Structures are given as C-alpha cells and as structure tokens.
C-alpha cells in the first residue's frame, strides 16, 4: 500500500493565526483533515506530523524514508538553514516533495534558497494550503510507479 508522510516543521502549528496575510486562515488541523479525506479516497495510508525541533524532523524523515513512504515536507524556516534535513532525505533515498504555503520566491531573499530542494523530486509553493493537496496528488503516482518497479 502506498504510504505518504506529511511532515511539518517549526511554527506550522501556528497556521491559521500566524501572519494570516501571508499564510491564510486554515489551521494545520484543517490541512490534516483535507489530506485525510484525499488519502481515504485514494486508498493511501497517511501519517501527518508536526514538530518545532530540527532533530525530530530528521527522525521523522528517516522513519518515512526507511519505511519506503513518500514525504510531503514543509520544513518551515529549516528549509533555508538545514543541511541535516537534506542529508536525511538523501541518506534514506526518500521520495520527497518540498511544499510551502507562501511563494517563498516572492519574499525575502533568505527564503529563496532551499537546502532540501536539490534532493526532492520537486517543489510546490505559493498556492496557500492547496500546496499540500497539489503535492499529495503529485507524489501518489510517483510512489505507485516506484512500488511497481521490481527491485534491482
Ligand atoms: O515557516 C515558514 C513557512 C513556509 O515554509 C511556508 O509554508 O510558506 C515558508 C518559510 O520561509 C517560513 O519560514
């Protein structure tokens, strides 16, 4: 069965109340509900997690990657600072998509660089919380393809 882990980093627990002009009014629990419904309809096993700690996010990535689950990750500010997150994705050969609620490229220059993007299959940003939905829709067929491939 295809499994997707949706991983959220620092301050995403504040979604819905944090800088609403930038991040909108939907809470992280609201995002989880939307994705749960999508996963149920698609027959996908969904794990949804949030942490404010970099090391915990590394462990979440390792768990997902080593289990062969796909990763949809909004690492928040760690996107722009963390080599450890990149190494966790690369080191577990996880199939990952980076997401952001806001269009990071239309914001401060320090948000333009991502350490993770080069080891992800793609990046989706700027569509509000629909960025998560788009990433989920993109990762499921990729995981199905990966599962169908016989091991080399
Ligand atoms: O915490 C966040 C949220 C974010 O990842 C987003 O979803 O738009 C963008 C990051 O630059 C920022 O630090």
Residues 72-118 have pLDDT tens digits of 999 999 999 999 999 999 999 999 999 999 999 999 999 999 999 99
- Residue whose CA lies nearest to ligand 1 atom number 4: 76
Catalytic annotation present for 23: yes
Mean pLDDT of 11-40: 97
Q: Map out the domains of the chain with their CATH numbers.
A: 3-148 (3.40.50.9100)
Please report the beta strands in the chain, taking only residues with DSSP state E, as ranges in sequence order: 3-8, 45-50, 70-74, 96-100, 122-125
Q: Note the pLDDT of residue 1.
A: 87
Catalytic choice (5, 53, 78, 100):
100
Cα–chain-centroid distance for residue 31? 12
In the structure, what pLDDT confidence band is assigned to residue 59 with cuts at 50, 70 and 90? very high
- Residue whose CA lies nearest to ligand 1 atom number 6: 100
Name the pTM for this structure. Answer: 0.96
- CA separation for the pair 80, 61 (Å, rounded): 17
HSE toward the beta carbon, residue 19, CA cutoff 13 A: 7
Q: Note the pLDDT of residue 151.
A: 62
What's the gap in Å between 77 CA and the centre of ligand 1? 6
CB 51 within 8 A of CB 58: no
Task: Kindly tell me if the per-residue pLDDT of 62 is higher than 90.
Answer: yes
Residue with the two structure tokens 């220059």 = 109
């Amino acid at each position: 069965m295809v499994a997707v882990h949706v991983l959220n980093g620092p301050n995403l627990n504040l979604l819905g109340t944090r800088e609403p002009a930038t991040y909108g009014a939907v809470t992280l629990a609201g995002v989880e509900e939307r994705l749960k419904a999508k996963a149920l309809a698609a027959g996908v096993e969904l794990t949804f997690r949030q942490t404010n700690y970099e090391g915990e996010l590394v462990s979440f990535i390792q768990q997902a990657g080593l289990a062969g689950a796909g990763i949809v990750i909004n690492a928040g500010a760690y996107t722009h600072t963390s080599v450890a997150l990149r190494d966790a994705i690369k080191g577990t050969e996880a199939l990952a998509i980076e997401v952001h609620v806001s269009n990071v490229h239309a914001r401060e220059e320090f948000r333009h660089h991502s350490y993770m993007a080069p080891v992800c299959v793609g990046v989706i940003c700027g569509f509000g919380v629909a960025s998560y939905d788009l990433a989920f829709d993109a990762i499921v067929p990729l995981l199905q393809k990966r599962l169908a491939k016989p091991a080399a």
